[in-house]
Amino acid sequence: MIERKPIVDRSEWLSWRKRDVTASTVGALFGVHPYITALRLYAEKRGTEFQDDDNNKVLRRGRWLEPAVAKAVSELRPEWDITAPNVYLRQPDLRLGCTPDFLICDHGRIGVLQCKTVAPSVFERDWLKGNDVPLWVTLQTLTEMMLCDAAFGAVAVLLVDPHNMDCVILDVPRHEGSERKIAQAVQSFWQQVANGIEPDPNFDRDAGVIKALSPRETPGKVLDCTGLNSLPQMLVNRAAYMAIIDDAKAKKEAIETEIKYLMDDAEIMTGVEGWRVTYKVQERKAHTVPASSPRVLLVRDQRAQS
């Protein structure tokens, strides 16, 4: 059974999304989503709130330009009848939902149109100039096709370039095996949420999530890491990186000092092609920093004393 909920209020729609894994986040369960990790999705479904300005800007850009993508597709594929369903679909037993951007009617066949807006450099890097659809986008489109029971799917990519706007349409066929894997991954995820089993962190990307999960320490609590063989080498590596950072900072400051010496009382440097260098007074307005109580990690190297 697929539930169909007409979207009449944005806040209500957002509340529906919170209780489901949505097509737009399925890629996180496979470790391929560019903005959301499995641990972050887990934390969100367990009630953790995040303030993510960069992600919100990406979503806002998509909302603003979505009608432009549909307009471009209608001109490139005039045989397609494109409509915005304005509906939230969900499979309640899986707690899996989606909000299709547009539906396509092609000679009686119903398809899903997924709209994306990207910079040309991103299209070249992540989409291989249109020769590949990123896996997280493929999973999103497959999920929407599955919940819509669509015959086919397409991804329309609008290249956001003010001097050379273009739109590329890429086909995504249905795939029963992939749909089964999506359903299994979602089912397993909700079992983890119910049992309080956190997905493994991605330490390159989950700094903010880990900080949000443990914002306060338990007074007096001690973690005994005896036998954790990987930790000493981690601390050695950290110390080595800190030494590199300190050395690089000192060298950078020495270069800046030499440039300041060369400029003396000059405001602008010229004669160095490809660089603009200025050295002048900047007035800064007074401001008050609000009080905060962040957790601070301190690591002291006491190897020399032991």
Mean pLDDT, to the nearest integer, of 32-38?
Answer: 95
Written as one string, the DSSP assignment of 81-98 is EEE---EEEEETTTTEEE
Average pLDDT, the chain: 92
pLDDT tens, residue by residue, 116-164: 999 999 999 999 999 999 999 999 999 999 999 999 999 999 999 888 8
* Residue 293: band (very low, low, confident or very high) from pLDDT cuts 50, 70, 90: confident
Q: Residue 109's pLDDT is what?
A: 96
Beta bridge partners of 83: 103
Q: What is the CA radius of gyration of the chain?
A: 26
Residue 223 CB contacts under 8 Å (≥ 6 apart), including other chains: none
CA dihedral (41, 169, 102, 28) in degrees, to 10, reads: -10
Segment among 20-34, 89-103, 262-276 with least mean pLDDT: 262-276
Q: Are 20 and 125 in contact (CB under 8 A)?
A: no
Q: Are 1 and 92 in contact (CB under 8 A)?
A: yes
pTM: 0.84
Architecture of domain 3-213: Alpha-Beta Complex (3.90)
The domain segmentation of the chain, as residue ranges, is 3-213, 227-264
Q: Residue 205's pLDDT is what?
A: 95
Cα-based distances in Å from 227 to 60, 87, 164, 232:
48, 54, 59, 10
Mean pLDDT, to the nearest integer, of 100-122?
Answer: 96
Q: Residue 232's pLDDT is what?
A: 93
Whole-angstrom distance, CA of residue 104 vs CA of residue 166? 20
Report helix, strand or coil for 121: helix
Q: Are 89 and 4 in contact (CB under 8 A)?
A: yes
pLDDT tens, residue by residue, 203-217: 999 999 999 988 889
pLDDT tens, residue by residue, 36-65: 999 999 999 999 988 765 567 777 877 888
Whole-angstrom distance, CA of residue 256 vs CA of residue 249? 11
| Lookup result for tokens 């950072």 | 245
State the helix-helix crossing angle for 135-148 and 176-195, rounded to 10 degrees: 100
Mean pLDDT, to the nearest integer, of 69-95?
Answer: 97
Tell me the percentage of the chain whose pLDDT exceeds 70: 96
Whole-angstrom distance, CA of residue 251 vs CA of residue 243? 12
Answer whether residue 304 shows pLDDT above 80.
no
